[in-house]
């Protein structure tokens, strides 16, 4: 996946005629250019062999179940369209079918329903699915309940290959075993990477320089965001309040409670789970660091009077405010650029802010709505070679065929309006982070920042984490035991 992102950046370089380097850290003392990288070309990357045996399976079905959100990862139509991503996915499917003499059969359902169907099938011992695309957070429950297999039991899935996202291991591996994985096999996952959009017209009206330079210099921080937005939210219609329902009131930031508490926390270096030398996770909150992060997030959202929407039914209002040119910043993810194609004001996007200048990298939260792949526990030992061959083939062929279409559709056409924003993609995708607490402790420690902000609590980080420590430790211990049980199965 790392090389996949470098390919994206390499093609952006050609498309925008700007000097963009790829996926490596900036050296100390370097000037404020994009970090350097090894030269990566599309031809070199996509020629990587998958090393799979050339077998034919006599028309055997390969049964996939996927959520509605991740349907675009596999598609069910059997004909070409005018959508380049769709046609690339279909071409990938047809190539794999022809190469191995199989027929891909796809079942689509809601993300909660997919999880339930997998659990019912495993409980009944029913061999219904070979590969599953699941909601990240919901899918984590399957791993805890021994409903899915470790990928280490699938002999031809090779995570050293560039079509797999190696960073997934930080959030999902235990004892160097993975229950869920991702990479080029799921192009929709890339689009769930968090970023921050800004309104160029509002910057122009305030005679402010666009924040691109701050990003390049490593100085795009929560303090700078607070400084830029603290006086922007205003009651323009003079009704005595700053309201989301007004057609005139403006905001420094518009955002949603199921996105921003996470994207700002992880962007600022927050992390609640660490790993020991044996890749076993443990609950590891850092009170001093987390208090500093929370204080700044609170100022950016609450003190600066952002439109921080905590009502699930009003999520579209968050977007609408930015679309109408009534917010300086909007926090969402890369795919959200689709909502802005008809926006009158020009916009750009940048990575989530750091905690401070001392933080090495910009870090990007990956939303839990992202799909992950897993293999149900009902796949028996004599079937695992087949499942692993086709899974690896779908991933490697996606790397060769789907990736260029993803670049063309989402990077060149939908996401960027200028070369500067194209350049920002490097910073956004260079350090995608995954935290086991977010995925597995969703209703507890993993969402404590969200819960405090929703109640507009100015303090309480230490006490909140203290109250959550015992249950979090017990939960992680149970997860480790579940993984160990699956390894023995």
Task: Give backbone dihedrals phi and psi of 78, rounded to 5 degrees, phi first.
Answer: -110, 25
Give the pLDDT confidence of 114-143 residue by residue, as tens digits. Answer: 999 999 999 999 999 999 999 988 888 898
What pLDDT was estimated at residue 38?
A: 30
Shared-domain flag, residues 186 and 199: no
What pLDDT was estimated at residue 408?
A: 60
**Which residues, other chains included, contact 397 with Cβ-Cβ below 8 Å and sequence gap of 6+?**
92, 95, 96
**CATH code of the domain covering residue 328:** 3.40.190.10
Shared-domain flag, residues 303 and 439: yes
Shared-domain flag, residues 309 and 241: yes
Q: Are strands 327-333 and 194-199 parallel, antiparallel or unpaired?
A: antiparallel
Q: Which residue blocks in 345-460 are alpha helix, DSSP H? A: 384-406, 419-429, 436-440, 448-454
**Calpha distance 233→254 (Å, rounded):** 10
Shared-domain flag, residues 141 and 273: no
Average pLDDT, the chain: 85
Shared-domain flag, residues 114 and 170: yes
- Is residue 400 in some structural domain? yes
- 121-125, 134-138, 281-285, 423-427: segment of lowest average pLDDT: 423-427
Cα 109 to chain centroid, rounded? 21
Number of compact structural domains in the chain: 3
**Calpha distance 460→229 (Å, rounded):** 24
Residue 22: pLDDT band (50, 70, 90) is very low
Shared-domain flag, residues 160 and 62: yes
Shared-domain flag, residues 23 and 58: no
- Is residue 424 in some structural domain? no
- Is residue 23 in some structural domain? yes
**Which residues, other chains included, contact 266 with Cβ-Cβ below 8 Å and sequence gap of 6+?**
194, 352, 363, 364, 365, 433, 435, 438
Nearest to 196 by CA among 243, 255, 249: 255
Q: What is the pTM of this model?
A: 0.83
Shared-domain flag, residues 353 and 454: yes
Given a contact cutoff of 8 angstroms between Cβ atoms, the answer to whether 301 and 295 are in contact is no
- Is residue 404 in some structural domain? yes
Tokens 């009651």 correspond to what residue?
235
Residue 7: pLDDT band (50, 70, 90) is very low
Residue 302: which H helix or E strand, with range?
none
Q: Are strands 251-256 and 327-333 parallel, antiparallel or unpaired?
A: parallel
SS3 43: helix
- The total number of residues shown for the chain amounts to 489
**Calpha distance 147→260 (Å, rounded):** 31
What pLDDT was estimated at residue 342?
A: 86
Domain that holds residue 31: 1-47
Final residue in a domain of this structure, among 415, 450, 473: 415
- Is residue 425 in some structural domain? no
Shared-domain flag, residues 448 and 331: yes
């Amino acid at each position: 996946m790392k090389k996949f992102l470098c390919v994206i950046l390499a093609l952006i370089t050609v498309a925008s005629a700007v000097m963009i380097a790829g996926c490596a850290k900036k050296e100390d003392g370097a000037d404020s250019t994009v970090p350097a990288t090894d030269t990566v070309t599309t031809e070199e990357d996509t020629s990587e062999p998958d090393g799979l045996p050339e077998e034919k399976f006599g028309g055997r079905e390969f049964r996939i179940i996927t959520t509605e959100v991740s349907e675009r990862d596999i598609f069910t139509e059997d004909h070409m369209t005018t959508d380049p991503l769709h046609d690339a996915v279909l071409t990938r499917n047809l190539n794999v079918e022809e190469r191995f003499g199989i027929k891909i059969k796809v079942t689509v359902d809601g993300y909660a329903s997919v999880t339930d169907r997998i659990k019912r099938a495993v409980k009944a011992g029913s061999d219904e699915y070979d590969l599953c695309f699941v909601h990240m957070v919901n899918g984590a429950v399957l791993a805890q309940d021994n409903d899915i297999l470790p990928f280490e039991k699938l002999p031809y899935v090779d995570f050293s290959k560039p079509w797999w996202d190696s960073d997934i291991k930080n959030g999902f591996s235990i004892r160097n075993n993975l229950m869920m994985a991702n990479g080029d096999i799921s192009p929709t996952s890339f689009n769930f990477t968090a970023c921050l959009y800004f309104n160029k017209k509002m910057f122009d009206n305030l005679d402010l320089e666009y924040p691109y330079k701050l990003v390049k210099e490593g100085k795009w921080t929560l303090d700078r965001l607070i400084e830029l937005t603290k006086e922007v939210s205003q009651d323009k219609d003079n009704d005595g309040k700053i309201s989301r329902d007004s057609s005139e009131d403006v905001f420094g930031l518009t955002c949603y409670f199921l996105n921003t508490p996470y994207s700002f926390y992880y962007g600022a270096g927050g992390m609640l789970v660490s790993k020991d030398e044996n890749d076993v996770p443990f609950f590891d909150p850092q009170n001093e660091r987390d208090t500093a992060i929370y204080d700044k997030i609170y100022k950016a959202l609450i003190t600066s009077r952002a439109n921080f929407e905590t009502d699930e039914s009003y999520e579209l209002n968050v977007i609408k405010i930015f679309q109408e040119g009534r917010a300086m910043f909007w926090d969402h993810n890369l795919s959200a650029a689709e909502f802005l194609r008809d926006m009158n004001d020009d916009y750009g996007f940048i990575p989530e802010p750091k905690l401070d200048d001392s933080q090495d990298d910009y870090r990007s939260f990956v939303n839990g709505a992202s799909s992950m792949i897993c293999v149900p526990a009902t796949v028996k030992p004599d079937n695992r070679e087949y499942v692993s061959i086709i899974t690896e083939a779908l991933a490697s062929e996606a790397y060769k065929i789907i990736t260029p279409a993803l670049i063309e559709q989402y990077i060149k056409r939908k996401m960027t309006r200028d070369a500067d924003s194209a350049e920002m993609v490097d910073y956004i995708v260079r350090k995608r982070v995954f935290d086991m607490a977010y995925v597995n402790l969703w209703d507890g420690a993993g969402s404590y920042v969200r819960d405090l902000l929703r109640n507009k609590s100015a303090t309480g980080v230490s006490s909140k984490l203290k109250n959550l420590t015992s249950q979090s430790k017990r939960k992680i211990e149970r997860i480790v035991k579940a993984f160990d049980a699956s390894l023995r199965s």
